[in-house]
Structure 1
Amino acid sequence: MEPTRTQWQVRCAFNGFCKRVLKNEAINAYNQRRQRQSREMTFSDLTPLEENQLYSLDKHYEGEETQGFQVAGKRITPNLLAKAMHTLPDEKRTAVLLYYFFNMSDMEISQLLDIPRSTVQYRRTSSFERLKRFLEVHADE
Protein backbone atom coordinates (compact mmCIF):
# COMPACT_ATOMS: atom_id res chain seq x y z
CA MET A 1 0.00 0.00 0.00
CA GLU A 2 1.63 3.23 -1.22
CA PRO A 3 1.21 6.40 0.85
CA THR A 4 -0.52 9.30 -0.85
CA ARG A 5 1.46 12.38 -1.83
CA THR A 6 0.13 14.31 1.20
CA GLN A 7 1.06 11.50 3.60
CA TRP A 8 4.50 11.33 2.01
CA GLN A 9 4.98 15.11 2.42
CA VAL A 10 3.88 14.94 6.06
CA ARG A 11 6.22 12.02 6.70
CA CYS A 12 9.14 13.87 5.04
CA ALA A 13 8.39 17.06 6.98
CA PHE A 14 8.27 15.11 10.26
CA ASN A 15 11.50 13.30 9.35
CA GLY A 16 13.21 16.64 8.62
CA PHE A 17 11.88 18.10 11.89
CA CYS A 18 13.23 15.14 13.89
CA LYS A 19 16.65 15.45 12.23
CA ARG A 20 16.79 19.20 13.03
CA VAL A 21 15.81 18.57 16.65
CA LEU A 22 18.44 15.85 17.05
CA LYS A 23 21.11 18.00 15.37
CA ASN A 24 20.28 21.00 17.62
CA GLU A 25 20.32 18.80 20.75
CA ALA A 26 23.71 17.41 19.75
CA ILE A 27 25.02 20.97 19.26
CA ASN A 28 23.61 22.03 22.65
CA ALA A 29 25.17 19.03 24.38
CA TYR A 30 28.53 19.72 22.72
CA ASN A 31 28.39 23.42 23.74
CA GLN A 32 27.42 22.57 27.32
CA ARG A 33 30.25 20.06 27.60
CA ARG A 34 32.74 22.58 26.20
CA GLN A 35 31.55 25.28 28.65
CA ARG A 36 31.76 22.86 31.57
CA GLN A 37 35.26 21.77 30.55
CA SER A 38 36.37 25.39 30.37
CA ARG A 39 35.33 25.85 34.04
CA GLU A 40 36.73 22.51 35.28
CA MET A 41 40.29 21.85 36.30
CA THR A 42 42.18 18.76 37.33
CA PHE A 43 43.29 18.17 40.92
CA SER A 44 46.91 18.55 39.86
CA ASP A 45 46.16 22.11 38.68
CA LEU A 46 44.84 23.20 42.09
CA THR A 47 46.90 25.46 44.30
CA PRO A 48 47.54 24.19 47.86
CA LEU A 49 45.04 26.74 49.20
CA GLU A 50 42.32 25.54 46.81
CA GLU A 51 43.17 21.93 47.60
CA ASN A 52 42.73 22.53 51.35
CA GLN A 53 39.22 23.85 50.73
CA LEU A 54 38.08 20.50 49.33
CA TYR A 55 38.06 18.67 52.66
CA SER A 56 37.74 19.23 56.37
CA LEU A 57 39.22 17.43 59.35
CA ASP A 58 37.39 16.37 62.46
CA LYS A 59 39.23 18.06 65.29
CA HIS A 60 37.10 16.56 68.05
CA TYR A 61 39.98 14.81 69.82
CA GLU A 62 42.58 17.39 68.95
CA GLY A 63 44.02 18.81 72.12
CA GLU A 64 42.59 15.97 74.16
CA GLU A 65 44.68 17.06 77.14
CA THR A 66 42.30 19.97 77.66
CA GLN A 67 39.19 17.81 77.27
CA GLY A 68 37.88 15.48 79.89
CA PHE A 69 37.09 16.10 83.51
CA GLN A 70 38.49 15.90 87.03
CA VAL A 71 37.00 13.36 89.42
CA ALA A 72 38.39 12.82 92.91
CA GLY A 73 41.67 14.41 91.85
CA LYS A 74 42.02 12.13 88.81
CA ARG A 75 42.00 13.34 85.19
CA ILE A 76 39.59 11.29 83.00
CA THR A 77 39.94 11.82 79.23
CA PRO A 78 37.67 10.46 76.48
CA ASN A 79 40.51 8.23 75.27
CA LEU A 80 41.01 6.75 78.74
CA LEU A 81 37.29 6.12 79.11
CA ALA A 82 37.22 4.36 75.74
CA LYS A 83 40.16 2.17 76.78
CA ALA A 84 38.37 1.32 80.01
CA MET A 85 35.22 0.31 78.11
CA HIS A 86 37.29 -1.94 75.84
CA THR A 87 38.61 -3.86 78.84
CA LEU A 88 35.09 -5.12 79.51
CA PRO A 89 33.86 -8.38 77.94
CA ASP A 90 31.42 -7.83 75.08
CA GLU A 91 28.30 -8.87 77.02
CA LYS A 92 29.09 -6.51 79.91
CA ARG A 93 30.00 -3.64 77.58
CA THR A 94 26.72 -4.14 75.71
CA ALA A 95 24.71 -3.97 78.94
CA VAL A 96 26.45 -0.75 80.03
CA LEU A 97 26.08 0.92 76.63
CA LEU A 98 22.40 0.00 76.27
CA TYR A 99 21.64 1.22 79.79
CA TYR A 100 23.46 4.56 79.67
CA PHE A 101 23.57 5.55 76.02
CA PHE A 102 20.23 4.16 74.85
CA ASN A 103 18.37 4.80 78.12
CA MET A 104 17.05 1.27 78.23
CA SER A 105 15.87 -0.28 81.50
CA ASP A 106 17.19 -3.59 82.79
CA MET A 107 13.91 -5.21 81.75
CA GLU A 108 14.16 -3.88 78.18
CA ILE A 109 17.77 -5.02 77.91
CA SER A 110 16.88 -8.47 79.25
CA GLN A 111 14.13 -8.81 76.65
CA LEU A 112 16.43 -7.60 73.87
CA LEU A 113 19.27 -9.95 74.81
CA ASP A 114 16.94 -12.77 75.90
CA ILE A 115 18.55 -13.12 79.32
CA PRO A 116 17.17 -12.72 82.87
CA ARG A 117 16.86 -9.20 84.29
CA SER A 118 19.05 -10.12 87.24
CA THR A 119 21.84 -11.05 84.81
CA VAL A 120 21.64 -7.60 83.23
CA GLN A 121 21.82 -5.98 86.65
CA TYR A 122 24.80 -8.14 87.62
CA ARG A 123 26.64 -7.33 84.39
CA ARG A 124 26.11 -3.60 84.90
CA THR A 125 27.17 -3.49 88.54
CA SER A 126 30.21 -5.72 88.05
CA SER A 127 31.18 -3.63 85.02
CA PHE A 128 31.11 -0.46 87.14
CA GLU A 129 33.48 -2.00 89.65
CA ARG A 130 35.82 -3.09 86.89
CA LEU A 131 35.71 0.35 85.23
CA LYS A 132 36.33 2.03 88.58
CA ARG A 133 39.44 -0.08 89.25
CA PHE A 134 40.79 0.54 85.73
CA LEU A 135 40.28 4.30 85.94
CA GLU A 136 41.81 4.51 89.42
CA VAL A 137 44.95 2.77 88.18
CA HIS A 138 45.31 4.46 84.79
CA ALA A 139 44.08 8.01 85.43
CA ASP A 140 46.80 10.70 85.28
CA GLU A 141 49.20 8.49 83.30
Structure 2
Amino acid sequence: MKPNRTEWQKRCTFNGFCKKVLKNEAIDAFRESRTRRKHEVVFSELTPQEEGRLYAYDHYFEEQEGFQVAGKWITPKLRAEALRALPEEKRQAVSLYYFFGMNNVEITGLMKIPRSTVQYRRTSSFELLKRYLEERAGE
Protein backbone atom coordinates (compact mmCIF):
# COMPACT_ATOMS: atom_id res chain seq x y z
CA MET A 1 0.00 0.00 0.00
CA LYS A 2 1.32 3.38 -0.96
CA PRO A 3 0.41 6.38 1.19
CA ASN A 4 -1.54 9.05 -0.68
CA ARG A 5 -0.04 12.46 -1.38
CA THR A 6 -1.56 14.34 1.61
CA GLU A 7 -0.39 11.69 4.10
CA TRP A 8 3.13 11.92 2.64
CA GLN A 9 3.09 15.71 3.01
CA LYS A 10 1.91 15.40 6.63
CA ARG A 11 4.72 12.95 7.37
CA CYS A 12 7.31 15.23 5.81
CA THR A 13 5.95 18.24 7.69
CA PHE A 14 5.97 16.32 10.97
CA ASN A 15 9.53 15.03 10.34
CA GLY A 16 10.69 18.57 9.61
CA PHE A 17 9.03 19.82 12.81
CA CYS A 18 10.68 17.06 14.89
CA LYS A 19 14.11 17.80 13.41
CA LYS A 20 13.70 21.52 14.13
CA VAL A 21 12.66 20.83 17.75
CA LEU A 22 15.61 18.47 18.31
CA LYS A 23 18.02 20.96 16.76
CA ASN A 24 16.73 23.79 18.97
CA GLU A 25 16.91 21.58 22.08
CA ALA A 26 20.51 20.70 21.23
CA ILE A 27 21.34 24.39 20.83
CA ASP A 28 19.67 25.19 24.18
CA ALA A 29 21.54 22.37 25.91
CA PHE A 30 24.84 23.56 24.46
CA ARG A 31 24.18 27.17 25.58
CA GLU A 32 23.18 26.04 29.07
CA SER A 33 26.28 23.87 29.33
CA ARG A 34 28.49 26.75 28.20
CA THR A 35 26.87 29.13 30.71
CA ARG A 36 27.26 26.59 33.53
CA ARG A 37 30.94 26.06 32.68
CA LYS A 38 31.57 29.81 33.05
CA HIS A 39 30.37 29.66 36.67
CA GLU A 40 31.84 26.31 37.70
CA VAL A 41 35.00 26.09 39.77
CA VAL A 42 37.19 23.02 40.08
CA PHE A 43 37.58 21.91 43.72
CA SER A 44 41.35 21.68 43.41
CA GLU A 45 41.48 25.39 42.52
CA LEU A 46 39.64 26.55 45.66
CA THR A 47 41.46 28.47 48.35
CA PRO A 48 41.32 27.08 51.91
CA GLN A 49 38.87 29.86 52.87
CA GLU A 50 36.54 28.97 49.98
CA GLU A 51 36.84 25.29 50.86
CA GLY A 52 35.86 26.08 54.43
CA ARG A 53 32.56 27.56 53.28
CA LEU A 54 31.55 24.30 51.56
CA TYR A 55 31.01 22.30 54.75
CA ALA A 56 30.07 22.68 58.37
CA TYR A 57 31.70 20.92 61.29
CA ASP A 58 29.30 19.63 63.93
CA HIS A 59 30.53 20.46 67.42
CA TYR A 60 27.63 18.58 69.02
CA PHE A 61 29.70 16.29 71.20
CA GLU A 62 32.20 18.98 72.10
CA GLU A 63 29.61 21.50 73.24
CA GLN A 64 27.37 19.24 75.30
CA GLU A 65 28.60 18.50 78.74
CA GLY A 66 26.66 15.34 79.51
CA PHE A 67 25.21 14.39 82.86
CA GLN A 68 26.19 12.74 86.10
CA VAL A 69 24.72 9.46 87.35
CA ALA A 70 25.80 7.73 90.56
CA GLY A 71 28.90 9.92 90.70
CA LYS A 72 29.94 9.01 87.15
CA TRP A 73 30.11 11.53 84.32
CA ILE A 74 28.30 10.34 81.12
CA THR A 75 28.98 12.36 77.97
CA PRO A 76 27.11 12.07 74.66
CA LYS A 77 30.34 10.90 73.04
CA LEU A 78 30.67 8.11 75.58
CA ARG A 79 27.07 7.02 74.98
CA ALA A 80 27.71 6.92 71.21
CA GLU A 81 30.88 4.87 71.76
CA ALA A 82 28.96 2.47 74.00
CA LEU A 83 26.32 1.93 71.31
CA ARG A 84 29.03 1.40 68.69
CA ALA A 85 30.67 -1.19 70.93
CA LEU A 86 27.55 -3.38 70.84
CA PRO A 87 27.42 -6.23 68.34
CA GLU A 88 25.55 -5.23 65.16
CA GLU A 89 22.41 -7.31 65.80
CA LYS A 90 22.04 -5.99 69.36
CA ARG A 91 22.68 -2.40 68.28
CA GLN A 92 20.04 -2.80 65.59
CA ALA A 93 17.43 -4.12 68.03
CA VAL A 94 18.11 -1.33 70.55
CA SER A 95 18.09 1.37 67.88
CA LEU A 96 14.86 0.20 66.30
CA TYR A 97 13.11 0.00 69.67
CA TYR A 98 14.29 3.21 71.33
CA PHE A 99 15.20 5.54 68.49
CA PHE A 100 12.64 4.51 65.87
CA GLY A 101 9.83 3.68 68.30
CA MET A 102 9.17 0.19 66.95
CA ASN A 103 7.74 -2.52 69.19
CA ASN A 104 9.01 -6.10 69.44
CA VAL A 105 6.48 -7.41 66.90
CA GLU A 106 7.51 -4.80 64.30
CA ILE A 107 11.20 -5.53 64.90
CA THR A 108 10.49 -9.26 64.60
CA GLY A 109 8.91 -8.69 61.19
CA LEU A 110 11.74 -6.48 60.02
CA MET A 111 14.65 -8.58 61.25
CA LYS A 112 12.87 -11.94 60.63
CA ILE A 113 13.80 -13.39 64.01
CA PRO A 114 11.66 -14.70 66.91
CA ARG A 115 10.16 -12.15 69.30
CA SER A 116 11.96 -13.71 72.26
CA THR A 117 15.27 -13.11 70.45
CA VAL A 118 14.42 -9.42 70.04
CA GLN A 119 13.60 -9.17 73.74
CA TYR A 120 16.80 -11.02 74.69
CA ARG A 121 18.96 -8.79 72.47
CA ARG A 122 17.48 -5.65 74.00
CA THR A 123 17.84 -6.74 77.62
CA SER A 124 21.33 -8.19 77.17
CA SER A 125 22.36 -4.99 75.40
CA PHE A 126 21.56 -3.02 78.54
CA GLU A 127 23.92 -5.15 80.57
CA LEU A 128 26.68 -4.58 78.01
CA LEU A 129 25.96 -0.83 77.87
CA LYS A 130 25.93 -0.65 81.66
CA ARG A 131 29.31 -2.39 81.95
CA TYR A 132 30.82 -0.26 79.18
CA LEU A 133 29.65 3.00 80.79
CA GLU A 134 30.73 1.94 84.29
CA GLU A 135 34.23 1.09 83.06
CA ARG A 136 34.76 4.26 81.02
CA ALA A 137 32.67 6.93 82.78
CA GLY A 138 34.66 9.79 84.23
CA GLU A 139 37.77 9.16 82.10
The TM-score bracket by the shorter chain reads 0.5 to 0.7
CA distance in 2, matches of 1:82, 1:111: 26
Q: 1:75 to 1:119 in 2, by over 3 A?
A: same
Q: For the aligned residues, what is the CA RMSD?
A: 3.1
Aligned-pair CA distance for 1:83: 1.3
Give the alignment partner of residue 137 of structure 1, picking from 90, 114, 135. Answer: 135
Q: 1:70 to 1:109 in 2, by over 3 A?
A: same
CA distance in 1, matches of 2:100, 2:74: 22
Give the secondary-structure state (helix, strand or coil) at the position aligned to 1:63: helix
Give the secondary-structure state (helix, strand or coil) at the position aligned to 2:94: helix
Q: 1:82 to 1:48 in 2, by over 3 A?
A: closer
Give the secondary-structure state (helix, strand or coil) at the position aligned to 1:103: coil
5+ residue gaps, structure 1: 1-28
Which stretches of structure 1, 4 residues or longer, exceed 4 Å deviation after superposition?
39-43, 45-49
Aligned-pair CA distance for 1:63: 2.9
Give the alignment partner of residue 80 of structure 1, picking from 71, 78, 81. Answer: 78
The match for 2:58 is 59
- Contact 2:72 2:137 (8 Å CA) reproduced: yes
CA distance in 2, matches of 1:135, 1:103: 23
Which is higher, the Rg of structure 1 or of structure 2? 1
Report % sequence identity.
58
Q: 1:137 to 1:56 in 2, by over 3 A?
A: same
The count of corresponding residues between Structure 1 and Structure 2 is 108
CA distance in 2, matches of 1:137, 1:131: 10
Give the secondary-structure state (helix, strand or coil) at the position aligned to 2:101: coil
TM alignment of 1:9-28, pairs within 5 A: none
Residue deviations 1:25-54 (CA, integer Å, cap 9, x gap): xxxx8xxx7xxx7x99999x99987x3773
Letter in 1 for 2:57: D
Residue deviations 1:72-108 (CA, integer Å, cap 9, x gap): 2211112111111122111111000000111000111
Give the secondary-structure state (helix, strand or coil) at the position aligned to 1:140: coil
- Matching of residue 121 in structure 1 with residue 119 in structure 2: yes
